[in-house]
Each structure stands twice: as structure tokens, then as C-alpha cells.
Amino acid sequence: MQRAIPLAVLALCAGFTAHLALAQDQAGGNQAGDAAKAFMQKLDTDGSGGISLEEATAPQKEQFKENDADGDGFITAEEAGAAFAEQVPPEMMEAMKERGMPDPGETFVKNLDQNEDGKVDPTEFEQPTKESFAAMDKNGDGIADEAEATAYFEEMRAKMQERMQQMQQQMQQMQQSQPPATE
């Protein structure tokens, strides 16, 4: 069973999709190509012109340490929720609660906790990045080059655009199904 990874997971994991979103916000023209260039500049720490899995997961290791507030080697729903709350405006957190949206920390753990022990370990935390890297490294040589990154980011852009349209449709349906407010 494949589970959808919500925005909270993307924000906390700071995976490839987050890099794409940031690059697209700043880019014009060839968004996927610009995102790939930014991705390469950020993660190609050895200057080889390609990204290894080790380079791709290095930011995950730092992010995990930051989110593991008590340093016990696991991220709990409480720690994930606190990290998410630090990254979004308070009014957004309040709006999420008002709309009955699930707690982002609980959602984070639910989506990444593969062994279902109620917390996320470093291996589970890095798994989305490893999966993204495998999808990006089309030729399977262990290195993602700029062409592979560009193709991957274009694919992700199209998927994100489709998901946004679906979410907009769902919101419209929800608004239409709500009874009018009485004064």
C-alpha cells in the first residue's frame, strides 16, 4: 500500500521536492532546468557534476538531528509537530485545527514510521529521499546528473500541479456542500 506523503512530511524532510518548490518560486523559464541547477549547486559537495546518494542524504542527517529535540535517535509526533509549527505561521496552524486537519506531527509519523513503533528513526526519515534519488537516477549508476535531475523535477512539477488541481477541486466541493451561514 502506497501512502501519500503530506506537505508536513515534505517540509520536515526537506527532500528533493522541497528543493524543487523553492527553485521554482525563484525561477522563470525552464523551471525544471533551473531547479536542477540549484539542486546540483546545493548538493554536489565534491564538485563532480553529479549527486551521489551520500550527498543527497547528507542534509537529511542534519535535519533529523534538528528535529530530534531530545537527542534519543527518534523523532516522535510531538517533536515533528513542534518542528512543523516552527516552520509555518501560527495562523496557518490555527486554520488547520479549525478545519479539522490531522496533526502534522502525527501525520508525519504515520507516513514515515515503517515499523509502526510510533516514532521515526534515521533510516525511516531518509527513505523518501532514497526513493526520490532512485527515481532520479534513471540509468542506475549511483549518480544523478543534471539531465536526470531536470527530467525528475519536470515529472515532479507535473505531479505537484495535478495534486494542486485536485486539492482545489476538493476545496470547491467542500465549500459547495456546506450549508450557507445564517445570521
The reported pLDDT for the residue numbered 183 is 60
Bridge partner residues of 50 (DSSP): 145
Q: Where are the alpha helices (DSSP H) in the chain?
A: 7-13, 16-26, 31-43, 53-67, 77-87, 90-98, 104-112, 122-136, 146-177
The domain of 140 spans 7-173
CATH number of the domain that 111 lies in? 1.10.238.10
Give the amino acid at 148: E
How many domains are there within the chain?
Answer: 1
H/E run at residue 50? strand 50-52
CA 140 to chain centre: 23
Q: Residue 179: inside a domain, yes or no?
A: no
Give the mean pLDDT per block of 10 residues along the chain (183 residues): 39 41 48 87 94 94 94 96 89 87 91 96 96 95 95 90 90 79 63
The reported pLDDT for the residue numbered 21 is 46
